[in-house]
Amino acid sequence: MTPPMKAIQYLMLTSAACLLANTAMAADGTIKFTGEITAASCVASAGAGSSVGGSQGQQIVDVNLGKVSVDALGGSAEGGLAAGTSINLNLDCGNTATNLTTVKFGFDPMSGSGVDPRNNNLLKTTGSAKGVGIGMYDQNSKLINLSANEAYSAPLTVSGEGAEAKYSAALNMRASYVANGEEIVPGTAEGTLPFTLTYE
């Protein structure tokens, strides 16, 4: 005797639910997050090589890398780079950075242009040019690895005492077009690189 159709459907749904429950319970490990929310809040103003616009929390740093020749990048040579453009920013944190000593300029390339597929240290460029990415360098001319969550750090300095204390920092970086090993094709080469300030 064949069971009623509703009974068959009920058994199928129950079996599927059991399978899903078993799948959801399986785990290979745990990610543990730690952190802290701080009152620190810094506003950037431009130094040499860049301009800053926008309001606090939504600031935009404009950097003009100029018009660079293929020859300056070494043709298609891996790692060839053009002379960089300075990005000097002055941070004013007012009195909000009490008990903090360091500010970190962290990058989020995946929310911007992405990382260069040929060299994931670099920011991927958008536009018609091919064979180049954008490299970010610290004050010692060391390439910052954008795919490894490397950040640029600078000390917070304090002037005044107690309620009159004012905190600030100077961020001195450099950006440059970098050949990624692919044949270079002239054209426009732009990019966007969201950043976040964190504090220690």
Convert the pLDDT of each residue in 55-76 to its tens digit.
777 788 898 988 988 888 875 4
Q: Which pLDDT score is estimated for 40? A: 79
d(CA 182, CA 18): 51
Q: Which pLDDT score is estimated for 24? A: 56
Convert the pLDDT of each residue in 148-167 to its tens digit.
989 899 999 999 888 889 99
CA angle, 137 as apex, 176 and 105 as ends, to 5°? 120
d(CA 90, CA 40): 15
From the centroid of its chain, how far is CA 31? Answer: 21
Question: Which residues of the chain are modeled with pLDDT < 50?
Answer: 1, 8, 10-13, 16, 20, 76-77
Q: Which pLDDT score is estimated for 77? A: 45
Given the structure tokens 């970098």, which residue do they identify? 178
Paired with 45 in beta bridges are 90
Q: Which pLDDT score is estimated for 163? A: 81
- Token pair of 80, please? 């060839």
